[in-house]
Amino acid sequence: MKQLAAIVSYYLFGYLIFWTFLHETDLFPTVWVEENFNIAIYLWIFFFIIPLMLIAISTEYIKQRILDFKSLNSESKWPLYILLFGVWDLMIGFAYLLFSYFEISHVTMIIANALFITGTYLTFLSFSVAKKLQTAKARRN
């Protein structure tokens, strides 16, 4: 629970800084963000997504899921790769549609972050499910 509170407070603090820069100063003027959307997305990934992933990797839950993934045999990994390709294709597709049809705003950035956090959670959850399925299959044989 402390880790979740740390992640949420990190995001709120980061959004406060980003939106203050975007709307109150000329550091990231709104016109610049709209004209240079690709660069703005890279900034967003660098300052928000990568630190979130670094925070998430340090948790025990994530460490255990990575161990689950490493202990999978090759028969179990290929269906997992296909599943993960589908999950991330869906997440990136939703983010693309979100930014294509709605303007850049606080709400769309929160929704996009929620998409990527959900994708990350589903990725690590799938590692656990694949490990459980492999163990159940080994017990049956």
**CA-based torsion, 112, 113, 118, 121: positive or negative:** positive
Tell which wins on pLDDT, 105 or 112: 112
With a CB cutoff of 8 Å and minimum separation 6, the contacts of 16 are none
Other CB atoms within 10 A of residue 115 CB: 17
Dump pLDDT digits (tens) for 22-37: 666 666 666 666 777 7
Tell which wins on pLDDT, 140 or 14: 140
Across 87-110, average pLDDT: 81
Question: Which residue range forms the structural domain that includes residue 47?
Answer: 2-140
Dump pLDDT digits (tens) for 108-129: 777 887 788 788 888 888 998 9
At 28 the pLDDT is 61
Looking at the 3D structure of the chain, how many domains does it have?
A: 1
* Residue 127 buriedness (CB in 10 A; 0-12 / 13-18 / 19+): buried
